[in-house]
Chain A
Amino acid sequence: MKADRPKHIGARVQRFEDTRLLSGSARYIDDIRLPDMLHLSFVRADTAHANIVEIDTSALADLEYATWVFTGKDTAGLSMKAHQDYPEMQYSEQPLLAEGKVRFVGEPVAVVLAEDAYRAEDAAELVFVDYETLPVIGTMAQARDSSLPSLFDGWASNVIVQRQMKGGDLEAAKAAAAHVIKRTYSTQRQAGVPMECRGVVASYDHADRVLTVWSSTQMPHLVRTYISEELDLPESRIRVVAPDVGGGFGVKGQVFGDEVLVAWLAMKTGRPVKWIEDRREHLIASIHARDHQHTLEAYVSADGRLLGLKADITVDNGAYSTFPFTSAGEPGMVGKVLPGPYDFQAYEATFRAVATNKCAIGTYRGVARPSAVFSQERLMDDIAKELGMDPFDFRLKNIIRQFPYKNVLGFSYDEGSYAQSLEQMQALLAEDVTEAAASRSSSTKRVGVGIACFIEQTAHGTPDFTRRRVPIETGYIAARVEMSPDGEVTIDLGLQNHGQGLETTMAQVAADALGVNPENVYVRHGDTLTTPYSVGTWGSRGGALGGGAVHLASLKLAAKLKTIAAHLLQAKPDEIELANGNAYVRDAVQRFIPIRKLARAALRNVDQLPEGMQPGLEAEQRQDGPKDGTYSNAVHAAVVEIDIPTGKMKLRRFVVVEDCGTILNPLVVDGQVRGGVVQGIGSAMFEHFIYDAECQPLTTSFADYLMPLAPEIPNIEVHHIETPTPLTPLGAKGLGEGGAIGPAAAIANAVANALDVGVSCTPLNTNAIWKLSQHLRGAA
C-alpha cells in the first residue's frame, strides 16, 4: 500500500493573503500610527532647472502651531549615490534636499514637519523659494548637443553613459544581406503606478539606539544597507519593515532619498516622522520609465534569414541616477536583450543614457524590455512585410530551436518552447487572421492581428550583477524554515510579498517537501528583524529563486524529520515518506507517526531523539540565480478593431501563450500574466507622462495621466506550456514581468496590420490611430 501524497506545487490554491487584502484588514504604510508622530510635507521644485537663490521660511514663525523646517543646508552631504563602475559613466549624486540647484520639477527642496498632515501641507505652502531659472535640457536631441551646458558641474556633456556590446562579424552580415531594413522606434515616457503610493515612517529609540523604518518598499534589506552607509549607523541597529505593500511593479524596487531623509529626521527631531506620498508627488517625482528611442538596422538574406542586427539606443534618463540599478541599467538592458529569441550571430549595439531636466528613469515592470521588444517585434513585422512574408513564417524561419543556445553576445539560453508557442498561437489566431484580411476592403472598419514573440532573462544572479558592475552586487534570495513544537511551519522569507501570491506559493513549496498542508505554513516577510538578508522582490525571481530556497531549506528540515521518524518507527531514514501530516514507512503505511509528534520530540521531548542529535527544527538556504539567468518565453497576440472615421480602437482579443517552466500555482501565474498585460495595454494605448518644452509636467493627476481601465480590457486568454529549467531547484523560471513586456509590440503590430502602415511609436491612443489611418479616410 502506498501513501496518498497530495502534490501542492502546481495546484490551483486560492491565495491565503487575499482574505486579508480583500477584506480591508491589510495594514499599509499609512496605517502605521505612532505616538507623538510628526507629519512631513515636501516643498518641491516648481521649475525644472534653476539655481536656488534663497529659501525663505520666515512665514512659518507666524503660525499658531509648531512646525519644523529643514533644507539642503541641514542635510548637506547626504545624498543618493547610484553609480556603476564603468569608465564611460559620468558620476552624479542626488542630494536628499536640493543643494544650490534643482534639476527637475518635483525635486525635494525643503521639508516641513507638523503635528498633523494637513497643517504640514498648509505650512509647506508658506515656504518661499526664489529661483534663478536656467535653460532646460528637454529632449534627447538637446541632451546630445554637446554645445549645451551640462546638468552637473564637471560633466563633459549630458550623455551620462554610452557603451557598446557586439558579437560576430557585422560587416560580413551586411555584405551578405539581400535586404537592409532600417527603422527608428520609440516608446513614450511613463510613470509606474501602483495603487498605493509610496510612504515612509521612521522612529528612533534613543535608549536602545535602534532606528526603525517602515517603508512601502520591495527591498527592505537594501533600504537598511543604504541607510546604514549614508547615516553611518550599524545595520544591526536598523530595522526596516515593509508592511503590506499595495503594489510595487519595480517602482518600489529602488532605494529613495526620502527613505534616508525620513530616518534622518526621526533621529534629528527625536520624534517619529511620517511621510505619505500623494498621487501628484508619485506621478512627478518617484520614478519614470520607458522613454526610449531605438534605431535598428537588420541585415536579411534573400530567403528571409536574419543575418545581423545593428542597434543605436538612447534612453532619456531624466536628471538623476537611481539606486541600485543606476542610469546605465536601462540602456544596457536593451543592448543585452535585443537579440531576443532569434538565431543570428552578428550584432552590434551602441547604447546611451542622456540627462534631461525630468524625473529619473527607474525600474518598472519589464525594465527596458517592453521598449526593446516593441522595437524588436515591430522590426520583425517590418522585415516580413518588406520581404512579402507572413509574420509567423518569418519568425518561425528565424526562431531558435536548439538548446542550450549560445547567443551572439555569449549568453546561454536554457530550453524553451519558442517555436511551439508560435505555432500554438498561429492556430489560436487562424480565424482572426482571416477576418483581418477580409476587412482590407473596408475603409470604415478594419481588423488587425499582431503578435509579439519574446524571451525574458529572469532570476538574475550574482554573476550577472558582477558582470554589470551594478551596485545591487548580489542576487541570492534566502529562506529560513522552522517547525515549532506543534508541527506548524514558519517560513522567514527574504522576499517581500506585494501581490505576487508568495504567502501561498511558498507555503505550497514547503508543504510538498515537509508533508504538511499549505494551510499549516505561515510565511513571514518584509521585516529585516525576522527575515534573512536578501535583495528583495523584483526582476522576476521570487518563484524561481525564493521558491528554490524554500524548497531546499524544507528538504533539509524534512531530512531531519525523516531521521527522527526512522528512529521512532525503527526504519531507515530513506524508507520514510512525509505526507498528509504524517511520517510513513514506505510500503507499510500502517507504520506512521504524526509529524507534530516528531516536532515535539525535536523541540520538547528531546529524550526521544536519536543519540547525539541536536534539538531544533530549522533550516536555512540561500539560492542564487544561474550565471545567465533562466529564460522564460512567450508569444502575445492582439486582435484590434479600428473605426477609421474616428480613430477609436477596440481591443477585441488578447491572447498569451507563455512558458515559465514549472508552474507553482496556475491561479497565481494567470493573475501575474493578466496584471502585466493590463499594464502593457496601458503602455500601448493610454499612459503617457508628458513634459512641455520647459520641462513642466502636464500629466500630474489621473485626469491627465490615463491608466487602462477595466472596460477597455478584453478577457485575456492565457495558455501555458511548461518547460522546466534544469537551472533552478524547482524548474521554475521567472514570470512576474513577462505580461507587461509583449502588449505594446503586439498591439502596435495589430494596428500596422489593420491599417497597412508602419507604426513607429506608442502610445497608440485615439488621436494617434486617427493620424495613422489618414490615408484610408482620404480614399473614402
Chain B
Amino acid sequence: MRPASFEYHRATSLEHALELLGEFGENGRPIAGGQSLVPMMNFRLARPGHLVDINRLPLDAIEIAGPVLRIGALTRHIAYFDNPWIARHFPAFLDAVHYIGHPTIRRNGSIGGSISHADPTAELPAISVLYDADIVARSVTGERRIKAQEFFLSAYVTALEPGEMVVAVEFPIPPAASTGSFIELGERSGDFATASIGISLEHGGGKIVRAAMVCCGADLFPMRAPEVEDFLVGKPLVNPSGAEAGCIFAASIDPVDDHIASADYRRGLIAELTHRAIEAACTRALDKS
C-alpha cells in the first residue's frame, strides 16, 4: 500500500497547471485534497507519473455569476455548511453535504476532486446532476462546459479529456418558488451511500410545477429519473403520491448488487427513499408558502 513512483509539481498559476497537465496528458493528474486520489494511488489502482498540486491556485470562490452559482474547483466541502446562497437556493445541496464523509474529508476534499473522481455514490456528483449543473473544464486549448448529466459516464469514468481539469461547477439558480431535499442511507455515518435520492421541485398553487430527481445506487453513475419527474408534475404538495413515485422508479431500475446490499434491498430502499425525499421536499415547500 505504497504508491508507485511519481513526480510532484506545484502549480503556481492556473496557466502553469494546465501547461503541465497538457504536457503529461494521461500520465498526469491534478491533486487537491487527495481524499480519493491518494488512497487509489496507495492501492496502486491509480499510477499517475506526475501529480500537479493545485492547492495554491485561487480557485475556491463561491460566487453568484448572473443566473448561476459558480463554485470554484478548490472549494472544500466544509465551505457549504454556512454559505447563505447554498442554504437559500439549493436545499438539497445543503442536505447532501451533511452526508459527506468525516471532518477530515470535509476540510480537505474539494468539489473539483469529487466531481473528477466520479464515485458513483458521491454526493456532489449527484447534486450536480440533480441541479443540471455545468462542469467547467479547462485545458491549454481552452474552456468548455459539460452538462453534468453528460459528464458522468460510469463508475470513476468522466467526460474529461487528458490534459483537462475541472475549474468550476456552475449551478443554475432555481426560481424563488422552488425547494428540494436529499436523503441518503449508508451502513455507517459518513460511508459511501448504499442509495441516495435528491429531489428538486418548482411549485405553484399548492402543486408541483416541475420536478427533478437524482438517484445514486441504481446505476454506476448518478442517474436522473425522468418517469418520476413527469409523474410528479401536477401533484399536490399535500400528499404528492411519493410512495407511488417510489414504486414507479424502483420498477424501472436494475440496481447494483454487492456485499453491502443486494439488488433487491437496494430497489426497496430506493423506493422508500424516493418516497421520503418527495415528502420532505413537499413539506418544505408548504412550510415556505
| Contact status A648-B185, CB under 8 Å | yes
Contact of B43 with A712 in the complex, beta carbons under 8 Å: no
A699 and B259 contacting across the interface, CB-CB below 8 Å: yes
Which bucket holds chain B's interface residue count? 20 to 34
What separation, in Å, do the CA atoms of A704 and B261 have in the docked complex? 12
CB distance from A682 to the nearest CB of B (A): 11
- The reply on B268 being an interface residue by CB < 8 A is yes
- The answer to whether B4 and A122 touch across the interface, beta carbons within 8 angstroms, is yes
Determine if A767 and B1 form an interchain contact, defined as CB atoms under 8 angstroms apart: no
Does B182 have its Cβ within 8 Å of any Cβ on chain A?
Answer: no
Tell me whether A711 and B189 are in contact in the complex, defined as CB-CB below 8 angstroms, given that A699-B259, A767-B261 are known contacts. yes
Specify the chain A residue showing the minimal Cβ separation from B188. A709
Q: Does A170 contact B (CB under 8 A)?
A: no
Q: In the complex, are the beta carbons of A766 and B261 less than 8 A apart?
A: yes
0/1 interface trace, chain B 232-262, chain A, CB 8 Å (1 if under): 0000000000000000000000000001111
B269 at the interface (CB under 8 A from A): yes
Tell me how far the C-beta of B270 lies from the nearest C-beta in chain A, rounded to whole angstroms: 10
Whether A770 and B187, one on each chain, are in contact in the complex, defined by CB atoms closer than 8 angstroms, is no
In angstroms, Cα B4 to Cα A648, docked, is 40
With A278-B1, A698-B259 known as contacts, the answer to whether A647 contacts B189 (CB < 8 A) is: no
B43–A767 contact, CB under 8 A?
no
Nearest residue in B to A685 (C-beta to C-beta)? B187
Asked if A686 meets B259 with Cβ closer than 8 Å, knowing A118-B5, A121-B2, A279-B1, the reply is no
Cα A279 to Cα B262 in complex, Å, equals 27
- Among B1, B4, B273, residue most surrounded by chain A Cβ atoms (within 10 Å): B1
In the complex, what residues of B have CB within 8 A of residue A118's CB? 2-3, 5
CA distance A647 to B270 in the complex (A): 12
B5, A712: Cβ atoms closer than 8 Å: no
**Are B1 and A280 in contact (CB-based, < 8 A)?**
yes
Q: With the chains together, A690 CA to B258 CA distance in Å?
A: 11
Among A279, A711, A771, which residue has its beta carbon within 8 angstroms of that of B265? A771
Write the nearest CB–CB distance from A387 to chain B, whole angstroms: 34
A125, B44: Cα distance in complex, Å: 11
Min Cβ gap B177→A in Å is 30
For B265, list chain A residues within 8 Å (CB): 647, 766-767, 770-771
Q: In the bound complex, how far is the Cα of B123 from the Cα of A460, in angstroms?
A: 52
Whether a CB of chain B sits under 8 angstroms from the CB of A77 is no
Q: How far is the CA of A777 from the CA of B2 in the complex (A)?
A: 47
**B residues in contact with A648, CB < 8 Å:** 185
Closest to B275 in A: A645
Q: Quick check: is B132 within 8 A (CB to CB) of the other chain?
A: no
Could you say which residues of chain B place their CB within 8 Å of the CB of A704? 259-260
Report the nearest B residue to A116, measured CB to CB: B2
Pairwise interchain contact B2-A767, C-beta atoms closer than 8 A: no
- Assuming the contacts A690-B259, A767-B261, A771-B265, asked whether A706 and B273 have C-beta atoms less than 8 A apart, the reply is no
CA distance A731 to B272 in the complex (A): 55
B19 touches A (CB below 8 Å) = no
Q: CB distance B190 to A711 under 8 Å? A: yes
Q: How far is the CA of A388 from the CA of B130 in the complex (A)?
A: 53
Contact between chains at B262 and A117 (CB < 8 Å): no
Nearest-CB residue, chain B, relative to A281? B1
> A427 to chain B: which residues have CB within 8 Å?
none
Least CB distance from A139 to B in Å reads 16
Chain A residues, Cβ within 8 Å of B93: none
Q: Is there contact, CB below 8 Å, between A766 and B273?
A: no
Determine whether B131 belongs to the interface, using a CB cutoff of 8 Å to chain A. no
Question: Which residue of chain B has the shortest Cβ distance to A121 in the bound complex?
Answer: B2
Decide if B1 touches A686 in the complex (CB within 8 Å). no
Q: Quick check: B272 and A766 within 8 Å, CB to CB?
A: no
In the complex, which residue of chain B has the Cβ closest to the Cβ of A707? Answer: B188
CB distance from B181 to the nearest CB of A (A): 16
Q: Nearest-CB distance from B206 to chain A (Å)?
A: 27
A529 CB → nearest B CB, Å? 32
What is the chain A residue whose CB lies nearest that of B265? A767
Given the contacts A646-B273, A648-B185, A706 and B191 also touching, CB distance less than 8 Å: yes
Let me know if A207 is at the binding interface, CB within 8 A.
no
A488 CA / B1 CA spacing, docked (Å):
45
A280 / chain B contacts, CB cutoff of 8 Å: 1, 43
Among A125, A688, A709, A777, max chain B CB count under 10 A is at A709
Does A402 reach chain B (CB closer than 8 Å)?
no
* Contact of A686 with B185 in the complex, beta carbons under 8 Å: no
A765 sits at the interface (CB 8 A) = yes
Q: Does B171 contact A (CB under 8 A)?
A: no
B18 → chain A, closest Cβ, in Å?
29
Report chain A residues within 8 Å CB of B110. Answer: none
Segment 623-674 of A: residues with Cβ below 8 Å from B: 645-648
B residues near A698, Cβ cutoff 8 Å: 259
Chain A contacts for B273, CB-based, 8 A: 646
Q: Chain B's nearest CB lies how many Å from the CB of A772?
A: 12
Chain A residues, CB < 8 A from B268: 770, 777
- Name the B residues within 8 Å of A693 (CB-CB): none
**Residue in A closest to B191 when the chains form the complex, CB atoms:** A706
Please name 11 further chain A to chain B contacts, defined as beta carbons within 8 Å, in addition to the given A646-B185, A686-B188, A701-B39, sorted by A numbering: A122-B5, A278-B2, A280-B43, A647-B265, A648-B185, A686-B187, A704-B259, A704-B260, A706-B188, A708-B188, A709-B189
25 A-B contact pairs sorted by A residue (CB < 8 Å): A118-B2, A118-B3, A125-B44, A278-B2, A279-B1, A280-B1, A646-B185, A647-B269, A686-B188, A688-B259, A699-B259, A701-B39, A701-B43, A706-B187, A708-B188, A709-B188, A709-B190, A711-B188, A711-B189, A765-B260, A766-B265, A767-B261, A770-B265, A771-B265, A777-B268
Tell me the B residues contacting A by CB distance below 8 Å: 1-5, 39, 43-44, 185, 187-192, 194, 259-262, 265, 268-269, 272-273
